[in-house]
Structure 1
Amino acid sequence: MARFWFLNGMCFLPTFLVIWSSSTFIVNYVIALLRGDIDVLFPYISDTGASPPESCIFGLMSTITAFAGFATMFARYKYVECINQNRGSIPILNKTAFAFAFISCLGMCFVATFQETVLRKVHDFGAFIFFISGVIYIILQTIISYKAYPYGTSKAVCYIRTIFAIVAFLAVFPTIICGFITKSTQLHWNTHDKDYTPHLVSAVCEWTVAFSFVFFFFTYIQEFKQFTLKVNTELLEST
């Protein structure tokens, strides 16, 4: 019986994460656009989930994305731990990257739960730790990929991850700085609005960072075909 390619090893984890996270961004954008809740060009990602009913869909899908992301990054952590237990600084980098993975997923849960139009400070705090921790995570994983080569991946994949890490790194700063400058939480913008330019820069860079994350996890798919994870259950004798 033929086996689907995404069932090889742990490949289903990054495959699901890439598809689901992309759908989270796109589905909510389309719904909000059709309802007239956002402008066509470059709203904030959070703007697509600021008004009901898309806010409910955005919260649910983003939370699932956060859990799928954590599961994928945990699997990656265990994989690197397995193949590189005694390779210099890799174990330390691996543990550090996983710590930032956890923080990033926690930040995404804040973004999913607290809409910007309701509790902006909490929402912005969650977005801040999500983006910063996410960028640090993919940078560390790129470094790990080079240090682990030729185990687990190819030079071509290392180069591709480097590109996504650089793009995310360069885009995250204008995302945060221009987002901080933009005081308004309005969902519809005109070119003559006071904060239009920083809003536009921040929104474009935000989408760039988000899809840099998506494409980075896409590079995990081939690698995750090479291993599986098992859970061992041990019963402790009662005293």
Structure 2
Amino acid sequence: MFWFMQGLCFLPVFLVIWSSSTFIVTYIIALFRQDVDIIFPYISDTGAKPPESCIFGLMTFISACAGVATTYARYKFVEKLSEETRVVRPCLNKSALMFGMLSCLGMCIVATFQETTVTIAHDVGALLFFVSGVFYISLQSFISYCAYPFGSSIIVCRARLGIAIIAALAFFPTVICASFVKQTELHRDTQDKDYPFQLASAVCEWIVAFSFICFFLTYIDDFKLFTLRVKTEYEE
């Protein structure tokens, strides 16, 4: 059996590969069509115009669905682990699940409402995605330490904590710098007064997004250890 076929390992593997491809493919297409500038546009800028907007919307929605499946599988894994060891409080596990689902909902909103079409809805979705995502990986990092040594190794726990810290630190300049950006054009002049703020915000946005991807990479070994089964009961 291949390593990615063990347990539910394919879930985080697919999520990481597909999400990375979503950002990279739409970025390359947008550059090829000269719809965005070469140096660090916002992620949403790469999916603002068709045809890349169609690809971005579809691939982001699939990523959100994969995120829901992965988040729920992680929740059930921690729940089962807690039943046997009592190392993680159920309310903490449920809170992490809630933030994970909210983050995926934010992704769906971002995929549905393009930045240049329905800006307010898009921004709300992006904020929901990033805020909930940071809370989710922070809670999962704490849960990992609570479950140690029954869950992940100490190296994985530290890796998750480090990624969560990077994501949290990068999130604040993403929002703060974005508040100083007055223009919303896809092509910017480097001489604009607010250009440095947009560049800093965009760079930090990419850091936060790929921090989430790196965090799900750490799930791979855990997901090799378990499977989920659906039980059907028929009531007459």
TM-score, with normalisation over the residues of structure 1?
A: 0.96
| Residue matched to 2:86 | 87
| Residue matched to 1:20 | 18
Q: What SS does structure 2 have at the residue aligned with 1:39?
A: coil
| Residue matched to 2:232 | 233
> CA offset at residue 90 of structure 1?
2.7
Structure 1 CA distance, aligned partners of 2:8 and 2:94? 20
> CA offset at residue 89 of structure 1?
4.9
Displaced runs of 4 or more, over 3 A: none
| Residue matched to 2:119 | 120
> CA offset at residue 87 of structure 1?
2.1
Percent identity at matched positions? Answer: 63
Q: How does 1:28-67 map to 2 (within 5 A)?
A: 28-67=26-65
Structure 1 CA distance, aligned partners of 2:54 and 2:189? 27
**88-97 or 195-204, which deviates more:** 88-97
- The Cα offsets for residues 175-233 of structure 1, whole Å up to 9 and x where unpaired, read as 11212221322111121113201101110000000000000000000110000000000
Structure 2 CA distance, aligned partners of 1:76 and 1:160? 17
Structure 1 CA distance, aligned partners of 2:68 and 2:75? 10
- The question of whether the paired residues in 2 share the 8 Å contact of 1:116 and 1:185 is answered with no
Structure 2 CA distance, aligned partners of 1:18 and 1:88? 28
| Residue matched to 2:203 | 204
Structure 2 CA distance, aligned partners of 1:235 and 1:131? 41
> CA offset at residue 88 of structure 1?
5.3
Q: What SS does structure 2 have at the residue aligned with 1:84?
A: helix
RMSD: 1.0
The answer as to 2:86 corresponding to 1:75 is no
Structure 2 CA distance, aligned partners of 1:110 and 1:180? 21
| Residue matched to 2:179 | 180
| Residue matched to 1:103 | 102
Q: What SS does structure 1 have at the residue aligned with 2:179?
A: helix
Q: Tell me the matched-pair count.
A: 235
Structure 2 CA distance, aligned partners of 1:181 and 1:236? 59
| Residue matched to 1:8 | 6
In the alignment, structure 1 segments of 5+ residues that lack a partner are none
| Residue matched to 2:146 | 147
Structure 1 CA distance, aligned partners of 2:150 and 2:97? 19
Structure 1 CA distance, aligned partners of 2:101 and 2:130? 12
Structure 1 CA distance, aligned partners of 2:193 and 2:93? 44
- The question of whether the paired residues in 2 share the 8 Å contact of 1:101 and 1:133 is answered with yes
TM-score, with normalisation over the residues of structure 2?
A: 0.97
